[in-house]
Amino acid sequence: MAYRRFFNLFLKRSESAYFFPKPQNVIGPTSLEESCHRSHRALHTDKPLMQKLLSAEELFAKNALKEHLEKREDEYNQCLQVISGTVAEDEHCADEMKAKRTKVSLLAPLIQSIRDLDKKQRDVAEAEILLKDEDPALRELAELERESCLQDIQHLRQKILDLLIPEEEADMSDLVLEVTAGVGGQEAMLFTAEMFDMYHGFAQHHGWSFDVLEHMPSDLGGLRHASASVSGPQSYKKMKFEAGVHRVQRVPKTERQGRMHTSTMTVAVLPQPTEISFTINPKDLRIETKRASGAGGQHVNTTDSAVRIVHLPTGVVAECQQERSQLKNREKAMTALRAKLYSMKLEEETSKRYNQRKVQIGSRGRSEKIRTYNFAQDRITDHRIGMTVHDVKGFLLGEDLLDEMNSSLQEFSNQEALLELLEENSQEGL
């Protein structure tokens, strides 16, 4: 069968004088990770706090993954057998049938990718047989076919891994971003302002909206605290790893003796729920109005435009005084309040799971130091994965370097979730 297929390819090539182009940068079984490193900015890793990022081939070599894929195929076939009528429908209630149809629909892309992968691996085996043929033209065709299949295998393996990774409920949400100055006085406030501008630039880089909710400046142009509503495709998913304590090491502008200072600021990234997914009882709210404080002109300081909302059951407070309209301030304050309450709900639901996990990516909590910005060495180091990039000024623009850092964090997080899933399945089989 293999000879027949390649003989037909050979005839087609001879009759039409069509030559297959030589694939460039073909990814072999072990070169995917190396290719990724070549195509991205060179990175320096210093004693990572978590295991190295495994390649798709290394993951597929694990027996736990093979067993998990076999279980998913068996589950798919069993559900398909039931809903196709092979098993009498009256033996199953309507709810069970609905659940099995849903399961088949969810598993279908994964199963199709697994079957495509199996076919490509068979094609590689056939091509390797023909590589031993005496006809040089046939061997050339077989080599091209083999290389093409190997490249497809890498893409299919990665696709399967992506389909296996459980999605977090909040990943598709918008978010509320909060920045707060930490230790370091005025220098911490100046750094907080730079970080807020960086995230504004990051939002613009991705085409997201960035609506300021609170803005409390310091005397020297820094920020004591600020918050913003960020909306756009995958905004929370791309920014969730920014939550935590950020540390800056540099000589402040106010330092006369040139001494290095260390300051901190805190970032909170709160998923912003939709009305459907999260509701608040109006009876649980106390809404207060007051005159706005700070700069803003005569109108702002003489009308009760600022709004403060208290959620009575939890004591959570949200304020807004950015707009001249009390109604707009109330809407923005409610946006911030909903995000805070929703974040508390998610944290409560997932705290048990995260406490049991090996903390590799981190808890994303306010007390955790996640990254250092060292101006003297022109480097930014993320302590969760031991990754360092250079060019602090470029990083603070909130464009490609920050995007690259977050992509690496997402890759490690995905791998952590996948390995945890395989471990749970292995324990279930014991």
DSSP 359-396: -SS----TT-EEEEEETTTTEEEETTTTEEEE-HHHHT
- Same-domain pairing of 147 and 81: yes
Residue 429 domain-assigned (yes or no): no
Residue 19 domain-assigned (yes or no): yes
Structure tokens at 265: 């600021």
Question: Mean pLDDT over residues 49-58, rounded?
Answer: 75
**Domain final position from 128, 145, 164:** 164
**Domain final position from 139, 164, 189:** 164
Give the burial class of 168: count Cβ atoms within 10 A of its Cβ; 0-12 exposed, 13-18 middle, 19 or more buried: middle
Residue 118 domain-assigned (yes or no): yes
Give the burial class of 190: count Cβ atoms within 10 A of its Cβ; 0-12 exposed, 13-18 middle, 19 or more buried: buried
Tally of CA atoms within 13 A in the half-sphere of 216 that contains its CB = 13
Question: Mean pLDDT over residues 72-94, rounded?
Answer: 75
Residue 98 domain-assigned (yes or no): yes
Q: What is the dihedral of CA 68, 119, 156, 412, to 10 degrees?
A: 30
Secondary structure (3-state) at 296: coil
Query: One-letter amino acid identity for 19?
Result: F
CA atoms of 187 and 222, how far apart (whole Å): 8
- Same-domain pairing of 231 and 208: yes
Residue 22 domain-assigned (yes or no): yes
User: Given pLDDT bands bounded at 50, 70 and 90, which one contains residue 293?
Assistant: low
CA atoms of 127 and 132, how far apart (whole Å): 9
CA atoms of 318 and 153, how far apart (whole Å): 51
CA 292 to chain centre: 37
Residue 424 domain-assigned (yes or no): no
- Same-domain pairing of 395 and 297: yes
- Same-domain pairing of 223 and 366: yes
Q: Is the pLDDT of residue 275 over 60?
A: no
User: Given pLDDT bands bounded at 50, 70 and 90, which one contains residue 255?
Assistant: confident
DSSP tag of 303: S
CA atoms of 96 and 355, how far apart (whole Å): 33
- Same-domain pairing of 103 and 228: no
- Same-domain pairing of 148 and 225: no
- The least confident of 92-101, 323-332, 342-351 is 342-351
CA atoms of 151 and 139, how far apart (whole Å): 18
Q: Is the pLDDT of residue 299 over 50?
A: no
Is residue 419 within 8 Å of residue 360, measured between CB atoms? no
**Residue ranges making up the domain that contains 53:** 2-164
The whole-number pLDDT of residue 272 equals 81
Residue 149 domain-assigned (yes or no): yes
What stretches of 28-62 show up as alpha helix (H) in DSSP?
Answer: 32-39, 56-60
pTM attached to this predicted model: 0.68
Go through 229-248 and write b for each residue having 16 or more CB atoms within 10 A of its CB, e for each that does not: bbbbeebbbbbbbbbbbbbb
The residue to which tokens 């409390």 are assigned: 216
The CATH number given to whatever domain includes residue 272 is 3.30.70.1660
Q: In what order do the strands lie in the sheet with 316-320?
A: 285-290, 306-311, 316-320
Give per-residue pLDDT as tens, 368-396: 689 999 999 999 999 989 999 999 999 99
Work out whether the CA dihedral 377, 378, 383, 385 comes out positive or negative.
negative
- Same-domain pairing of 135 and 190: no
- Same-domain pairing of 105 and 236: no
Query: Structurally, how many domains does the chain consist of?
Result: 2
What percentage of the chain exceeds 70 in pLDDT?
76
- Same-domain pairing of 146 and 242: no
Residue 105 domain-assigned (yes or no): yes
**Domain final position from 119, 147, 164:** 164
CA atoms of 168 and 171, how far apart (whole Å): 5
User: What are residue 232's phi and psi, to 5 degrees?
Assistant: 165, 165
Query: One-letter amino acid identity for 48?
Result: P
- Same-domain pairing of 67 and 152: yes
Return all residues near 396 (Cβ < 8 A) that are at least 6 apart. 194, 195, 197, 198, 373
- Same-domain pairing of 108 and 218: no
- Same-domain pairing of 7 and 98: yes
